[in-house]
Amino acid sequence: MARDNKANKEAARKEAANKDDNVVIRVRGLVNRFGAQTVHDHLDIDVRRGEVMGVVGGSGTGKSVLLRTIIGLKRADAGSIEVLGYNVPELSDADARALEQRWGVLFQDGALFSSLTVAQNIEVPMREHCDMPQELMDEIAACKIAIVGLPDNSADKFPSQLSGGMRKRAGLARALALDPEILFLDEPTAGLDPIAAADFDILIKDLKASLGLTVFIVTHDLDTLFAICDRVAVLVDNQVRIGTLDEHLRDDHPWIHSYFHGPRGRAAHPAAAE
């Protein structure tokens, strides 16, 4: 009997640890396949509240697929996904709408609606999820435009009138429209020149600190990893290795070593040259 009680207590302890309230994204046993090709083979990932989690990997490792699966745009072949306590694959329509209000997503190149102005693009989530007067939506849009560092006159411009960096910022403003708790970013600095990319990294770091955001960022940019990420999930061999940058710098896996200690890695951070 004593042995049974001890086993039950240990099981309860493990379950409590697994349900750590500090974890806002919990992925267990995730499998993604495309035909006969397995991209993700039983991935486990925890993202803690308030951290910046970077996701990197070689071509074809499914970085963007992972993001899209977590936010429910792709259904996994196996495994479980919890975001803010919600079981994403099993969400009802009402719960899906509730959860969508608690995260913001910046897709590659901003994914703005070309026929809408910047302000109108930012107001799309408000129209979808909220019932508020136009005047208030305009005020919120203006506030988000200022937060992401766009000039006031960009509100009435169309995406085609913006530079690549400005489109990214406009997309970020839309992702922040409903004051989310989690921000998902898919290759946010891709296509930007080094100065614009560095400015965007600083913006994300400042927003994370001032708004208390949790950030899940898919990137190939080593400068971004070293500038803003607390931990990094490396997709390799259909699996995931999660750790701090210092831990990855000590990893002797061939791809990881080449990635962090190659010419770009050495340029991004002195420790990579050691």
pLDDT at 13: 47
pLDDT at 263: 66
pLDDT at 16: 46
Contact 154, 145 (CB under 8 A): yes
pLDDT at 110: 73
pLDDT at 14: 46
Please list the residues that pair with 54 across neighbouring strands: 217, 232
Q: Which residues of the chain have pLDDT under 50?
A: 9, 12-14, 16-17
pLDDT at 87: 94
Instruction: Tell me how far apart the alpha carbons of residues 138 and 111 are, in angstroms, rounded to a whole number.
Output: 20
pLDDT at 206: 96
Instruction: Tell me how far apart the alpha carbons of residues 78 and 72 are, in angstroms, rounded to a whole number.
Output: 13
Instruction: Tell me how far apart the alpha carbons of residues 152 and 129 are, in angstroms, rounded to a whole number.
Output: 25
Tokens describing residue 9: 């207590």
Backbone angles phi, psi at 136, to 5 degrees: -70, -40
Residue 181 burial (CB count, 10 A)? 18
pLDDT at 182: 98
